[in-house]
Amino acid sequence: MRSRIKTTALAAVLLAGTAGVGAGLANQATAAEPAAGKAKNVIYLLGDGMGRTHVTAGRERFYGADGKLNMETMPVVGQVSTYAVEKNSGQPGAADFHPNLVTDSASAATAWSSGVKTYNAALGIDGKGNLAPTVMEQAHAAGLATGNVSTAEITDATPAGQMSHALARGCQGPTYSAASCQDNAITGTDLPTSDVRVTPIADQIARNQTADVILGGGLSRFDAADESALEANGYNVLGSPATQTVATETDLNGASGQKVFGLFNKGNMTIEKSKQDNPASPEALEPTVAEMTSKAIDLLKAKSAGNGGKGFYLQVEGALIDKRSHANDAAQTLEEIKAFDDAVKVALDFAKADGHTLVIVTADHECAGFNIIEKGTFTNAEADVPPVNKDSGNPANSSTPLRTANQARAAGREAFAPATFRTKDDPASVHDGDASASLWLTYLSGNHTGADVPIFAYGPGSSAISAEIDNTDLFGIVRSALSLDGSGSAVKTASTTTLQAPKTAKAGKKVTISVAVTPAAATGSVKILDKGKVVRTVAVSGTAVKVKVKLKKGKHKLTAQYAGSTSYDPSTSPTVKVHVR
């Protein structure tokens, strides 16, 4: 049985149906841009797997051809490139830059959270495995209230991208395993289990306090030790990881306090269509992403008000758009788009009333090549032969398209037929599944694509979002909006770093080294050096961190260097001499 890895100071690892079709359209209007200036709050909403066609299909399904989703009423509109890189790649522009044109959710989350390109499956590190701080870690260190909401497991790629650092996204917990957590293609050999990059994501989230409000699914990733750690850090824990009792909507409605942790399903939260089809099921009582967003805003606003009005940063993910697109279930996908857009409305309504909130709505990647095809037509997967290119008016334009030899068609393609849905514009006699329904939807595959994704924005700082940006640009845009880049910051506070180690040690035995940084709010990363050479990088979060290091026989000079943060200056400890005999 593999033992669970527990690290006492993982905090801030690096831092420094058709029901409702057309409903609500009368209340929609294009959102006017508020006065320019710095934002106090940022709400970043992410429709996982949501491509441009997902948005169009959602609009036509629920609001009609001439309607708009709430996100489409926002005044700033653009598109985002989403490519990742291969393992051990440098960043764009470097000689060793090797792009991967189709990203996964982990590398995409790292791009906007940390501003670096990385390989698929990596979180909070660059393509070579180096730790990269996240916006949410920086916001937390600067004293802002922070929140993370998702309809997926909270340890899954998108929410984890703001609160953890991992060589492999599968290292979620509750237990450590080398197969899930290590990646020798990046590190050469297995890292010690004290290294945050191989610490289960659930362990990190339960201990690093990066997010004050954590709402979503994934209770089975956490256990009794995690519950104790959360409560020790001041969280109001809804339900119980110890007994695997999921939180309820009633728990959410009654939740209060500056820190709240609530997971409403042991796995991913339940899709909206299932809740509609099974209204008496326990899952139907789970809160919607809009309800979680509303509660998170209330909690974060209250914490900000009690903390000098520094503001808040909230990330919200509609995760099941992607997961149902992978499954090629258009009916489920459409309902998830609507549910996510309802959360957008919650954020947008708050921003309009507040006047100091930047709202960004985008996606991490497109999923499955979702498409709207002409009524009465069919997909290539159903065709007897692929489309041909013959231009009888100008034969010079004719060609035989290049296709790989394995593009072979098997018999019986009915499973790939389009899914048809009625829209607001259809007569009442038209039903979902009818050939006469207006909206014909298909999928290209069951996987991600490399298409650019849409972005919508409203509020102070939204002008920084141009028509075409890369996903890494969003890191700087959010940091600037919240003045985390120093553009609106006060003078940094001095920090003090200390290192303790025994004066003598026995050869062949590991030496216990203790590192601490004060004030306690000075969280982030510390490098332990031996005669100037880095031997270990650790995370600090208000308490001393103890690590064991194997030193060669001889005399050593150890120092600890704190990297600093957006609020605290770097500092270096006095040198400690250790003689290994």
Residues 536-579: tens digit of each pLDDT = 888 887 788 999 999 999 999 999 999 887 678 899 999 999 99
Q: How far is CA 288 from each of CA 17, 295, 343, rounded to the nearest angstrom?
A: 16, 11, 8
Confidence (pTM): 0.79
- What is the distance between the alpha carbons of residues 323 and 447, in angstroms, rounded to a whole number? 10
DSSP character for 389?
B
Q: What pLDDT was estimated at residue 137?
A: 96
Are 335 and 273 in contact, with CB atoms under 8 Å apart?
Answer: yes
Residues 12-44: tens digit of each pLDDT = 334 433 333 333 333 344 444 444 567 999 999
Q: Is 251 annotated as a binding residue?
A: no
Q: Catalytic: which of 3, 81, 89, 105? A: 105
- What is the distance between the alpha carbons of residues 482 and 38, in angstroms, rounded to a whole number? 7
Q: What is the CATH number of domain 41-375+417-487?
A: 3.40.720.10
DSSP character for 361?
E
Phi, psi of 8, deg, nearest 5: -75, -15
Domain 496-580: give its CATH superfamily: Immunoglobulins (2.60.40.10)
Residue 261 exposed, middle or buried by CB count within 10 Å (0-12, 13-18, 19+) = buried
Domain boundaries, the chain: 41-375+417-487, 496-580
DSSP character for 572?
E
- What is the distance between the alpha carbons of residues 54 and 58, in angstroms, rounded to a whole number? 6
Are 155 and 140 in contact, with CB atoms under 8 Å apart?
Answer: no
Q: What pLDDT was estimated at residue 411?
A: 46
Mean pLDDT, residues 458-485 taken together: 92
- What is the distance between the alpha carbons of residues 237 and 154, in angstroms, rounded to a whole number? 14
31 Cα distance to chain centroid: 26
Q: Is 156 annotated as a binding residue?
A: yes
Q: Is 485 annotated as a binding residue?
A: no
Q: Is 364 annotated as a binding residue?
A: yes
Reduced to 3 states (helix: H, G, I; strand: E, B; else coil), residue 358 is: strand
Q: What is the DSSP string of 175-216?
A: S--HHHH--HHHHSSPPPTTSGGGS-HHHHHHHH---SEEEE
Q: What pLDDT was estimated at residue 7?
A: 38
Q: What pLDDT was estimated at residue 543?
A: 80
Catalytic annotation present for 105 = yes
Q: What pLDDT was estimated at residue 21?
A: 31
180 Cα distance to chain centroid: 19
Q: What's the token pair of residue 447?
A: 């996987």
Q: Of 5, 12, 7, 6, which Cα lies nearest the Cα of 542? A: 12
Q: What's the token pair of residue 478?
A: 């959010």
pLDDT at residue 205 greater than cutoff 60: yes
Are 581 and 554 in contact, with CB atoms under 8 Å apart?
Answer: no
Q: Of 436, 82, 105, which Cα lies nearest the Cα of 268? A: 105
Q: What pLDDT was estimated at residue 467?
A: 80
Q: Is 216 left (phi over 0), alpha (psi -120 to 50) or beta?
A: left
Q: Is 365 annotated as a binding residue?
A: yes
Q: What pLDDT was estimated at residue 252?
A: 98
Q: Is 126 annotated as a binding residue?
A: no
Q: What's the token pair of residue 515?
A: 């590192």
Residues 42-95: tens digit of each pLDDT = 999 999 999 999 999 999 999 999 999 999 999 999 999 999 999 999 999 999
User: What pLDDT band is residue 113 in, cutting at 50, 70 and 90?
Assistant: very high
Mean pLDDT of the chain: 89
How many other CB atoms sit within 10 Å of the CB of residue 292?
A: 26
Q: Is 322 annotated as a binding residue?
A: yes
pLDDT at residue 256 greater than cutoff 80: yes
Q: What pLDDT was estimated at residue 28?
A: 43
Who wins on pLDDT, 349 or 2?
Answer: 349
Q: How far is CA 529 from each of CA 14, 346, 540, rounded to the nearest angstrom?
A: 17, 49, 16
- What is the distance between the alpha carbons of residues 462 and 358, in angstroms, rounded to a whole number? 7
Residues 309-354: tens digit of each pLDDT = 999 999 999 999 999 999 999 999 999 999 999 999 999 999 999 9
Binning the chain into helix, strand and coil, the percentages to the nearest 5 are 25, 25, 50
Phi, psi of 63, deg, nearest 5: -125, -5
